[in-house]
């Protein structure tokens, strides 16, 4: 396994298949960082306006 740090999250990557592995809650942390970067409000995520 190879280890990468992105936005305070440790991501493990298999050196053979290049699959990415996250621990519990890390995917949500990455999504939060992306939404913050894009200026999106996470509270509005998944709600429809219409």
Residue 7 lies in a domain: yes
In the predicted model, is pLDDT for residue 32 greater than 90? no
Average pLDDT over residues 16-39: 86
Contacts 24+ apart (CB under 8 A), 9-15: 9/33
More confident residue, 30 or 12: 12
Structural domain boundaries enclosing 14: 2-38
> For residue 48, is it within any domain?
no
Q: How many domains does the chain have?
A: 1
> What confidence category does residue 25 fall into, taking pLDDT thresholds of 50, 70 and 90?
confident
Structural domain includes residue 49: no
């Amino acid at each position: 396994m190879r280890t990468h740090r992105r936005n305070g999250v440790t991501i493990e990557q298999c050196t053979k298949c290049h699959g990415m592995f996250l621990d519990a809650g890390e995917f949500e942390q990455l999504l939060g960082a992306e939404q913050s970067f894009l200026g999106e409000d996470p509270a509005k995520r998944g709600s429809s306006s219409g």
